[in-house]
Amino acid sequence: MRTCMWVIALLFVFGFAWEVGADQNVPTERISGSAGDVLEDDPTGRLKVYVYELPNKYNKKILQKDPRCLNHMFAAEIFMHRFLLSSPVRTFNPEEADWFYTPIYTTCDLTPTGLPLPFKSPRMMRSAIQLISTNWPYWNRTEGADHFFVVPHDFGACFHYQEEKAIERGILPLLQRATLVQTFGQRNHVCLKEGSITIPPYAPPQKMQAHLIPQETPRSIFVYFRGLFYDINNDPEGGYYARGARAAVWENFKNNPLFDISTDHPTTYYEDMQRSIFCLCPLGWAPWSPRLVEAVVFGCIPVIIADDIVLPFADAIPWEEIGVFLAEEDVPNLDTILTSIPPEVILRKQRLLANPSMKWAMMFPQPAQPGDAFHQILNGLARKLPHAQSVYLKGGQKILNWTEGPVGDLKPW
Ligand SMILES: *[C@@H]1O[C@H](CO)[C@@H](O)[C@H](O)[C@H]1NC(C)=O
Ligand SMILES: *[C@@H]1O[C@H](CO)[C@@H](O)[C@H](O)[C@H]1NC(C)=O
Q: Is the CB of 130 under 6 A from ligand 1?
A: no
Which parts of the chain have pLDDT scores under 70? 1-27, 30-37, 232-239
Please give the distance, rounded to the nearest whole angstrom, from the Cα atom of residue 173 to the centre of ligand 2.
11
What's the pLDDT at 115?
A: 85
Closest CA to ligand 1's atom 9: 134
Of 185, 184, 254, nearest in space to 225 by CA? 254
Q: Give the atom of ligand 2 at the shortest distance from the alpha carbon of 405.
A: 5
pLDDT value at residue 5: 47
pLDDT by residue (tens digit) across 201-260? 999 999 999 999 998 899 999 999 999 999 766 666 666 788 899 999 999 999 999 999
| Most informative mutation of 126, 399, 404, 407 for ligand 2 (most atoms within 8 A of CB) | 404
Q: What is the pLDDT of residue 39?
A: 82
Return d(Cα 145, Cα 386) in angstroms, integer.
12
The ligand 2 atom at the shortest distance from the C-alpha of residue 402 is 1
Ligand nearest to the CA of 170: 2
Q: What is the pLDDT of residue 27?
A: 67
Measure 130 CA to ligand 1 centroid, in angstroms: 9
C-alpha 307/C-alpha 85 separation (Å) is 37
| Domains annotated on the chain, with CATH | 2-30+204-361 (3.40.50), 37-202+371-399 (no CATH)
pLDDT confidence of residue 7: 44
The rounded Å distance from CA 139 to ligand 1 centre is 9
CA count, 13 A, side-chain hemisphere, 198: 22
CA-closest residue to ligand 1 atom 6: 134
- Calpha distance 185→71 (Å, rounded): 22
pLDDT at 318: 92
Residue 136 alpha carbon, nearest atom of ligand 1 = 13
